[in-house]
Amino acid sequence: MSNDLESLKSEMLAAVAAAGSTQALEAVRVGELGKKGRITGLMKELGGLDPQERKARGQALNALKDEVARALEARKADLAQDDLDARLAGEGVDITLPVRPEQTGCIHPISQTIDEAIAIFGEMGFTVAEGPDIEEDWYNFTALNIPPDHPARQEHDTFYLPDTGDGQRKVLRTHTSPVQIRTMQQTKPPIRIIVPGRTYRCDYDATHSPMFHQVEGLLVDQTTHMGHLKGCLIDFCRAFFDVDDLPVRFRPSYFPFTEPSAEVDIGCTREGGQFRIGHGDDWMEILGCGMVNPKVLENCGIDSSVYQGFAFGVGIERLAMLKFGIPDLRTFFESDLRWLRHYGFSPLQAPSMVGGLDR
Ligand code: PHE
């Protein structure tokens, strides 16, 4: 390559390298390789040369053209990458921020209550178990010592599903207790579970909804006794309602699947028309419990001469209404945004025994 072309080449490559944007680079390309560009102009002059000179000069110009074209391509790719990087940096989103800070969602009091119960029982060593909402009659009733003609079946106001042809009608579970059976069939003792979940009964007024929630508890071991049941539930009530010396009373009761059975009341007062939990002259029933009936253990293949256990079932809506001062149970399921914002909880503060339940 002759000297003039060598210096032209370094000049052109320097211009390519200096182009700071796709537009500037395009201007360089047009100025060198375009129809009226410098290299194109030099090519046009070839016609005036003698054949010998023309050949050498033509080859040199072609080499120059190729090299400049390659440099242009490379620079173009670099600039495109820079453009992309800049765009990505500019459009960066902090996904941990709420999309619309003025409109954060909140946790429903039912979810909050379940999370608080899990935090408390979790601290005592219970793990969460689950079962189906659509349940077989055997799990919901028979295995729990509620045979077909038992009056408790009527009391449950059961929703039955259509007969599937084999004479078996499935039910919407009327309590979370069938998960006791499923767990005892699948797991060898020791067992220590809680079961938060939906339950269904055909009933509807200010204190009943056809769909509601319970938390079941089940503990099975060799030396489990009524004292453990009482201690566990007293601790739960005091932690949940955040009253250290909350009065808790166990009143004899009856459930086919526990023997003996009890209902648990907590102290409250209605003085001056104001309901308050704590010391007072009145009691409020909040849950059912008892020692697992040996027949139920045997129905699940657990030797009742070796193992015994306790169980309890507590209504979530009832707990939430008492703790958060919610007067009507039906409002839980109306999805009224004003209600949800008023009674809802921060999604960023998970309940825990160390961090606090619902601060
Ligand atoms: N399953 C009972 C109910 O729904 C509650 C309960 C559970 C009672 C476990 C005793 C033991 O009313």
Rounded distance from Cα 343 to ligand 1 centre (Å): 28
Rounded distance from Cα 177 to ligand 1 centre (Å): 7
- Taking residues 134-146, what's their average pLDDT? 96
Specify the 3-state DSSP secondary structure of 326.
coil
Residue 104 has pLDDT above 90, yes or no: no
pLDDT for the residue 29: 93
Ligand 1 pocket (Cβ < 6 Å) reads 175, 177, 216, 255, 258, 288-290, 311-313
User: What are the backbone dihedrals phi and psi of residue 102, each rounded to the nearest 5 degrees, phi first?
Assistant: -80, -5
Mutate-to-test residue for ligand 1 from 126, 175, 181, 212, highest number of ligand atoms within 8 A of CB: 175
Rounded distance from Cα 173 to ligand 1 centre (Å): 12
The residue whose CA is least distant from atom 7 of ligand 1 is 313
Rounded distance from Cα 84 to ligand 1 centre (Å): 62
- Of these ranges, 161-165, 272-276, 328-332, 345-349, the one predicted with the greatest mean pLDDT is 328-332
Mean predicted lDDT score pLDDT of the chain: 92
Rounded distance from Cα 233 to ligand 1 centre (Å): 14
State how far Cα 304 lies from the chain centre: 38
Higher pLDDT, 129 or 89: 129
User: What are the backbone dihedrals phi and psi of residue 238, each rounded to the nearest 5 degrees, phi first?
Assistant: -70, -40
pLDDT for the residue 107: 94
Gap between the Cα atoms of 20 and 11, Å rounded: 16
pLDDT for the residue 275: 83
pLDDT for the residue 305: 98
- Taking residues 42-53, what's their average pLDDT? 88
Give residue 243's pLDDT band: very low, low, confident or very high (50, 70, 90).
very high
The residue whose CA is least distant from atom 6 of ligand 1 is 313
pLDDT for the residue 302: 97
Atom of ligand 1 nearest to the CA of 199: 4
Residue range 186-212, pLDDT digits in tens? 999 999 999 999 999 998 888 889 999
Q: Specify the DSSP element, H or E, that contains 15.
A: helix 3-18
Residue 253 has pLDDT above 90, yes or no: yes
Mutate-to-test residue for ligand 1 from 191, 257, 263, 291, highest number of ligand atoms within 8 A of CB: 257
Q: Look at the alpha carbons of 255, 256, 258, 259 in this order and tell me if their dihedral is positive or negative.
A: positive
Cβ neighbours of residue 355 closer than 8 Å, sequence gap 6 or more: 349
The residue whose CA is least distant from atom 4 of ligand 1 is 175
Residue 3 has pLDDT above 80, yes or no: no
